[in-house]
């Protein structure tokens, strides 16, 4: 089934250390090494954050106590992540309040280098109060509020923050928090003990007293059940173990194959716990004794005597594997002849010249992709058969939900109705491109212009017709296992990722070489989308 293939191809351990606030589209490229001369001592530490990002706050709250205990053994630098526009103006993911918070914290670090961490710790008690909490927190720390405020509101603060943003950009840092220790990315959990253990291990010469008090790591047995027939599972296990070793320093892991006797017995335990997908990360009960367990406890489920770590896995070893020429499930039908492969990409009929995108109407990256289609469609015209599908969840009784709430459901309904009523020559996209200029504005009727009639859209969107259309569209994404906006499907069988007009041109032309327009180079403007690689529905 395609859902299995899609899910496991992007398997990732769902741990807090992987979560963060991303300034641009994320990719699999690790941060560039910090270009710094590393002295034997102290240890060089750089932390990259956004002042209102909850994950950045979490990292600071755990790291700052460790820094206080390590003293001069660590040379610490705080940097911020944001954007510098062509006109020199500064932007931050969480808007103007965060930008002001960044400015105040950057100026505090410059003007009060021994006290600013206390100010930030105070502000972090309620990140949503940033920047208004700066004054009381600065007074509590004994910092000159007027001097720091003047810096933040003047050219000095702008220059400091611009340099910080550019430093982060040069190092390829996009997510808050990101941390480099002696020029290498820190990959452990965001706990004080984890930071202390890592930094104490790098201190040369006489170590701070706290280093002698760290407890011996708890031994944490882990069994990973996987299947060599699942091609992407190998990489998923490799990445997962790398992350888990950073979280649990006493990890004792072994990898077990499903095809072995022990593997089948362990899989029976999984099935008895209503779990069936591989790879499976199965911890013994000792994991609960590790200090890091509390940070990720909500990502575990019970599976017999084990604690199963929730991962984005989707390979069923008992099901038909589409395309390997073998009757894997023993029902006498092989590959595309097996009902289990109906939705698999390789078994879908190819429709040349088609391009489909799955989006959420209020997803920032979906909006960028849809806006890019104006240039793409102008380039390919009728040589491209373009379709849009909306990602939503349809519950019992027909209730429809979407990632960005009821407002997104309402807009999805309007857009799919516009598509149904004004789909000829993609006329309905004029409504979408207009709405995307102010997608959260309640005045949607202002975009129902010319031949597109607001009354027609409203009647459909508020009645059973619209809900039926959206439910049917949502079912397509669910059948295919698509959950991220935007996701692309070329020629009805080739999944792809793209955002800008030229990226869209490339994925379309890879499946339709020689199509007039493929020889052109289109724009690569991502529109400054503020989120990570996309909006993930599930």
Nearest to 299 by CA among 290, 289, 312, 286: 312
Helix 155-170, helix 145-153: angle, nearest 10: 70
Q: Is 250 exposed, middle or buried (0-12, 13-18, 19+ CB in 10 A)?
A: middle
Spatial distance between the Cα atoms of 164 and 519, rounded to a whole number of angstroms: 40
Same domain, 400 and 419: yes
Spatial distance between the Cα atoms of 520 and 306, rounded to a whole number of angstroms: 56
Spatial distance between the Cα atoms of 382 and 11, rounded to a whole number of angstroms: 37
Same domain, 201 and 60: yes
Report how many helices (DSSP H) and strands (DSSP E) the chain contains, helices first: 17, 21
- pLDDT reading at 266 higher than 70: yes
3-state secondary structure at position 31: coil
Same domain, 50 and 191: yes
Domain boundary among 244, 274, 309: 309
- pLDDT reading at 179 higher than 80: yes
What's the pLDDT score for residue 10? 33
| Mean pLDDT for the stretch of residues 444-458 | 97
How many domains does the chain divide into?
3
Q: How do strand 74-80 and strand 43-49 relate by DSSP bridges?
A: parallel
Residue 150 domain-assigned (yes or no): yes
Same domain, 363 and 286: no
Same domain, 393 and 259: no
Pair 390, 357: CB distance under 8 Å: no
Domain boundary among 272, 289, 309: 309
What's the pLDDT score for residue 261? 97
Residue 314 domain-assigned (yes or no): no
What's the pLDDT score for residue 132? 96
Host domain of residue 37: 31-212
State pLDDT tens for residues 475-509: 999 888 888 999 999 999 999 999 999 999 999 99
Q: Is 231 exposed, middle or buried (0-12, 13-18, 19+ CB in 10 A)?
A: middle
Cα separation values, 438 from 72, 130, 186, 364, 443, Å: 50, 26, 39, 11, 9
Helix 54-70, helix 116-123: angle, nearest 10: 140
Cα separation values, 291 from 219, 239, 353, 492, Å: 12, 22, 54, 48
CB within 8 Å of 109: residues ≥ 6 apart: 78, 116
Same domain, 170 and 67: yes
Q: Which residue has the tokens 């701070």?
A: 208
Give the CATH number of the domain where residue 502 resides. Answer: 3.40.30.10
DSSP structure string for 298-361: GGEEEETTEEEEPB---B-TTS--TTSSS-TTSSS--GGGSGGGTT-GGGSPP-TTEEEEEE-T
Q: Which residue has the tokens 């990632």?
A: 403
Residue 343 domain-assigned (yes or no): no
- pLDDT reading at 24 higher than 60: no
- pLDDT reading at 526 higher than 80: no
State pLDDT tens for residues 287-322: 999 988 988 899 999 999 999 999 878 899 999 988
Say what percent of the chain tops pLDDT 90.
Answer: 74
- pLDDT reading at 389 higher than 90: yes
Contacts of 230-234 with CB under 8 Å at 24 or more apart are 230/8, 230/278, 230/279, 230/315, 230/317, 232/8, 232/9, 232/11, 233/8, 233/11, 233/278, 233/279, 233/313, 233/315
What's the pLDDT score for residue 19? 56
Mean pLDDT across the chain: 89
C-alpha angle 220-312-469 in degrees, rounded to nearest 5: 160
Same domain, 148 and 195: yes
What's the pLDDT score for residue 23? 57
Residue 465 domain-assigned (yes or no): yes
Domain boundary among 212, 228, 251: 212
Cα separation values, 189 from 113, 294, 296, 532, Å: 26, 11, 9, 20
Nearest to 393 by CA among 461, 485, 277, 483: 483
pTM, full prediction: 0.62
**Does the N-terminal peptide bond of residue 42 adopt cis geometry, omega within 30 degrees of 0?**
yes
What's the pLDDT score for residue 346? 82
CB within 8 Å of 299: residues ≥ 6 apart: 14, 15, 309, 310
State pLDDT tens for residues 319-373: 998 888 999 999 999 999 999 888 788 888 999 999 999 999 999 899 999 999 9
* Residue 124 DSSP one-character state: T
- pLDDT reading at 443 higher than 50: yes
Sign of the torsion angle spanned by Cα atoms 479, 485, 491, 497: negative
Count of CA atoms in the C-beta half-sphere (13 A) of 77: 16
Residue 395 domain-assigned (yes or no): yes
CB within 8 Å of 89: residues ≥ 6 apart: none
Same domain, 232 and 267: yes
C-alpha angle 54-60-63 in degrees, rounded to nearest 5: 140
| Mean pLDDT for the stretch of residues 258-282 | 95
Same domain, 293 and 369: no
Q: Which residue has the tokens 């760290």?
A: 214
Same domain, 221 and 203: no
Pair 43, 74: CB distance under 8 Å: yes
Pair 4, 323: CB distance under 8 Å: no
Same domain, 207 and 230: no
Residue 413 domain-assigned (yes or no): yes
pLDDT confidence bin for 22, thresholds 50/70/90: low
Spatial distance between the Cα atoms of 196 and 203, rounded to a whole number of angstroms: 10
Give the CATH number of the domain where residue 250 resides. Answer: 3.40.30
Residue 60 domain-assigned (yes or no): yes
Spatial distance between the Cα atoms of 310 and 344, rounded to a whole number of angstroms: 24
Task: Choose between 28 and 270: higher pLDDT.
Answer: 270
**Does the N-terminal peptide bond of residue 131 adopt cis geometry, omega within 30 degrees of 0?**
yes
Same domain, 60 and 152: yes
Residue 478 domain-assigned (yes or no): yes
Spatial distance between the Cα atoms of 287 and 75, rounded to a whole number of angstroms: 33
What's the pLDDT score for residue 40? 46
Q: Which residue has the tokens 């291990």?
A: 201
- pLDDT reading at 412 higher than 60: yes
Plot region of 141 (φ>0 → left; ψ -120 to 50 → alpha; else → beta): alpha
């Amino acid at each position: 089934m395609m859902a299995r293939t899609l899910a496991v191809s992007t398997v990732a351990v769902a741990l807090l250390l992987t979560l963060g606030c991303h300034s641009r589209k994320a990719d699999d490229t690790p941060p560039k090494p910090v270009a710094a001369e590393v002295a034997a001592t102290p240890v060089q530490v750089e932390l990259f954050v956004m002042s209102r990002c909850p994950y950045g706050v979490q990292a600071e709250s755990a790291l700052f106590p460790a820094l206080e205990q390590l003293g001069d053994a660590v040379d610490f630098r705080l940097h911020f992540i944001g954007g510098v526009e062509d006109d020199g103006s500064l932007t931050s993911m969480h808007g103007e309040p965060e930008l002001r918070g960044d400015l105040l914290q950057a100026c505090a670090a410059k003007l009060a280098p021994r006290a600013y961490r206390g100010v930030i710790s105070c502000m972090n008690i309620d990140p949503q109060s940033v920047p208004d909490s700066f004054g009381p927190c600065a007074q509590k720390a004994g910092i000159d509020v007027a001097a720091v405020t003047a810096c933040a509101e003047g050219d000095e603060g702008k220059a400091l923050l611009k340099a910080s943003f550019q430093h982060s950009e040069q190092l390829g840092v996009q997510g808050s928090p990101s941390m480099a220790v002696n020029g290498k990315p820190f990959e452990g959990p965001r706990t004080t003990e984890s930071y202390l253990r890592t930094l104490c291990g790098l201190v040369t010469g006489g170590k701070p007293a706290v280093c002698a008090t760290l407890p011996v790591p708890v031994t944490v047995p882990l069994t990973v059940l996987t299947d060599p027939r699942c091609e992407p599972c190998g990489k998923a296990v490799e990445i997962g173990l790398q992350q888990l070793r950073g979280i649990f320093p006493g990890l004792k892991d072994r990898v077990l194959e499903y095809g072995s006797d022990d593997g089948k017995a362990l899989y029976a335990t999984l099935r008895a716990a209503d779990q069936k997908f591989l790879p499976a990360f199965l911890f013994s009960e000792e994991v609960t004794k590790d200090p890091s367990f509390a940070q990720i406890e909500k990502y575990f489920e019970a599976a017999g005597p084990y604690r199963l770590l929730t991962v984005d896995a989707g390979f069923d070893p008992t099901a038909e594997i589409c395309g390997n020429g073998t009757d894997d499930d023993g029902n006498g039908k092989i590959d595309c002849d097996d009902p289990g492969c109906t939705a698999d990409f390789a078994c879908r009929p190819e429709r040349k010249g088609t391009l489909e995108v799955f989006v959420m109407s209020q997803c920032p990256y979906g909006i960028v992709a849809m806006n890019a289609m104006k240039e793409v469609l102008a380039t390919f015209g009728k040589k491209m058969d373009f379709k849009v599908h909306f990602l939503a969840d349809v519950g019992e009784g027909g209730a429809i939900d979407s990632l960005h709430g009821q407002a997104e459901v309402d807009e999805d309904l309007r857009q799919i109705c516009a598509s149904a009523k004004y789909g000829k020559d993609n006329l309905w996209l004029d409504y979408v491109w207009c709405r995307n200029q102010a997608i959260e504005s309640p005045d949607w009727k202002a975009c129902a212009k010319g031949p597109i009639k607001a009354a027609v859209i409203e009647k459909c969107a508020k009645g059973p017709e619209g809900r039926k259309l959206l439910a049917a569209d949502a079912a397509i994404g669910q059948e295919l296992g698509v959950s991220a906006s935007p996701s692309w499907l070329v020629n009805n069988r080739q999944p792809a990722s793209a955002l800008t007009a030229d990226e869209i041109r490339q994925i379309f032309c890879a499946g339709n070489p020689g199509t007039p327009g493929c020889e052109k180079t289109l724009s690569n403007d991502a529109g400054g989308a503020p989120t990570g690689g996309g909006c993930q529905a599930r």
